[in-house]
Amino acid sequence: MKTREERFNFWFSAFLLAGMVLIAIYSFIYQVRTPGARVLMQAIACAAAVTGVTNAVLSANGSIWTFLFGLLDVVCCSIVYYDSGIMGTFALHVLYFLPMQFVGFWQWRRRGAGDRVTDDKGKTRETKVNARRFTGKDWLKIAAAFVIGTTVAYSILYGVDLAQFRAGKIVEIDKAKILLDASLVVLNILGQVLLSLAFTEQWYLWILVNIVSILLWTNRLTSPGASGYTVVMLVKYVFYFLNSLNGLRIWLKLSKSQRLEGQV
């Protein structure tokens, strides 16, 4: 019989997945009926939303299968970000997130995720990853890396938009978008490192990532010429945010219990 904790995690995860699927289907049906609808891009954005939420839910629950759906999510999101002109996050997905799915899978397997074990009642289950916790000055290192990384990323992205502005390819330089994009790039890099190494503190960064992502897509939604799939991406990150709160709760308990058992 499942414990109260397991039942909550199951139904909460089911709520996120079912909610994202229903919203993606509704958005797709609505958008493809509008004049000039870009059916393929809408379909890709919906696929990114569903695979992304599945990836996030599996990650929160410490399942090795998170990296399979993470790979699918990266491919779909790369196309969406490129089409939306969010080039910093596009480059992040192609050059960093894509190979990190394989690195993360390898690291989690080394830390016990995906093993098949049989309990005293003869039931076989898949083991979760052995979660780590920060020690010493790790948070100071993360904070310093964020400030330095964001400064560098902002300078690069501002230079790219400035060149496009001078070439007449864009009508204005959106500094708010650039700052959000730069912050998102660095937070994602740091969060993915902590995810791949199975640190519980990754969830604090994912919470920030999701808040910034919500602001970023809200910015795109209120901008002229916003794409039809912008709403889907915005809702996706709202669901990500809810999942990251639950993920933090699960991993704090997971790392505590594994520490008591001497697994960490």
Q: List pLDDT tens digits, range 231-259.
A: 777 888 899 999 999 999 999 988 876 66
Residue 212 resides in a domain: yes
pTM comes to: 0.81
Structural domain range at position 235: 4-113+136-260
Residue 126 resides in a domain: no
Residue 39 resides in a domain: yes
pLDDT score of 260 more than 60 = no
Residue 228 resides in a domain: yes
Residue 210 resides in a domain: yes
Residue 129 resides in a domain: no
Task: Report long-range pairs for 250-255 (Cβ below 8 Å, ≥24 apart).
Answer: 250/9, 250/60, 250/61, 250/62, 251/60, 251/62, 251/131, 251/200, 251/202, 251/203, 252/200, 253/5, 254/62, 254/128, 254/131, 254/200, 255/131, 255/132, 255/133, 255/200
Domain count, the chain: 1
Residue 123 resides in a domain: no
Q: 116-164 pLDDT, tens per residue?
A: 887 666 677 788 888 888 887 898 999 999 999 999 999 998 998 898 8
